[in-house]
Amino acid sequence: MGKTKTILDNSKVFFAEVGDISYFTGRFFREVFKPPFEFKELLRQCFYMGNRSLLLVVVTGFILGLVFTLQSRPTLTDFGAESWMPSMVGVSIVREIGPVIIALICAGRIGSGIGAELGSMRVTEQIDAMEVSGTNPFKYLVVTRIMATTLMLPLLIVIGDTVALLGSALIENLKGEVSYLLYFNQVFDAITYADIIPATIKSFFFGFAIGLIGCYKGYYCSKGTVGVGEASNAAVVYTSMLLFVIDFIAVFITDIFF
């Protein structure tokens, strides 16, 4: 009886949260097309999010390319399929590994940052202060941040994928004596629009999810400084889970259409 009650209570909390997030998403879409538009703040957020995450994305992408190639090489060599390395790495990184890994990195970097920033603004009544001055804090704080993550994540993913391929090419060049030109020729021969388009569309959704959950957790933060920590932590955990759900749906739809 006790366990059933706990499951029921947890389910209620879960569905209430899903409902709140849906309402929050609906409010975003209502506000995003309504003037006045906060272009200056949007550009500032794009710059901060892109700029602050760039080094992390570049380093992660480079190591991803290196490690992926190093780990795959012996297996392909055993089967005498070394020449498939650039195609395999290229397709894997562009289609799946690049977007997912970089989105996860950004969920940690950007999502937690948004959650903590908005959370501390909430608990120190800065959001209330905006509201009582007759400005719309949702538009200024939330809409701009979600837009910025949605626009910047695809860009960061393109940069991350490119650097990952460079890392892979470096290993191939050192270990397999494959020239950079030959490597990239093979990569671009293997990659088709059916790889690039779904991955790009997916990356917009990843960016949207990172911004949405970070903002949602921060905007409705409570319980003082403890709440800020919880908001930041929950932003990363919820976003990471959501990224995998989006990825699964994207792969499923891609499988139908491409």
Partner 1 sequence: MESVNKISPVLELKDLRKSFGENHVLNGFNLKLYKGENLVVMGKSGSGKSVMIKCLVGLIEADSGSIRIKEHDITKLGQNELDILRTEIGFLFQGSALYDSMTVRENLEFPLRRHKKKLELKGNTETLVMEALTNVGLAQSIDLMPAELSGGMQRRVALARALILKPKIILYDEPTTGLDPITSKEIIQLMRTIQDTYNTSSLIITHDVDCARVISNRMILLVDGVNYAEGTYQELIASEDPKVQAFFKN
Taking residues 10 to 39 in sequence order and writing x for each that binds partner 1 by CB under 8 A, - otherwise, the string is --------------------------x---
Of the two residues 41 and 82, which places its CB atom closer to partner 1 in the complex? 41
How far apart CA 220 and CA 37 sit, in angstroms, is: 23
Of the two residues 36 and 80, which places its CB atom closer to partner 1 in the complex? 36
Interface positions, 107-126, toward partner 1 (CB under 8 A): 117, 121, 124-126
- The answer to whether 128 contacts partner 1 (rule: CB under 8 A) is yes
Taking residues 51 to 90 in sequence order and writing x for each that binds partner 1 by CB under 8 A, - otherwise, the string is ----------------------------------------
Interface positions, 201-240, toward partner 1 (CB under 8 A): none
Q: Which span sits near partner 1 by CB under 8 A: 71-79, 127-135, 175-183, 191-199? A: 127-135
Count of residues that bind partner 1 according to CB under 8 A? 15
* Three-class HEC string of the chain: CHHHHHHHHHHHHHHHHHHHHHHHHHHHHHHHCCCCCCHHHHHHHHHHHHHHHHHHHHHHHHHHHHHHHHHHHHHHHHCCCHHHHHHHHHHHHHHHHHHHHHHHHHHHHHHHHHHHHHHHHHHCCHHHHHHHCCCCHHHHHHHHHHHHHHHHHHHHHHHHHHHHHHHHHHHHHHHCCCCHHHHHHHHHHHCCHHHHHHHHHHHHHHHHHHHHHHHHHHHCCCCHHHHHHHHHHHHHHHHHHHHHHHHHHHHHHHHHHC
Of the two residues 6 and 135, which places its CB atom closer to partner 1 in the complex? 135
Q: Which span sits near partner 1 by CB under 8 A: 76-84, 104-112, 129-137, 204-212? A: 129-137
Of the two residues 128 and 189, which places its CB atom closer to partner 1 in the complex? 128
Q: Which span sits near partner 1 by CB under 8 A: 55-63, 94-102, 128-136, 142-150? A: 128-136
Q: Which residues bind partner 1 (CB under 8 A)?
A: 36, 117, 121, 124-126, 128-136
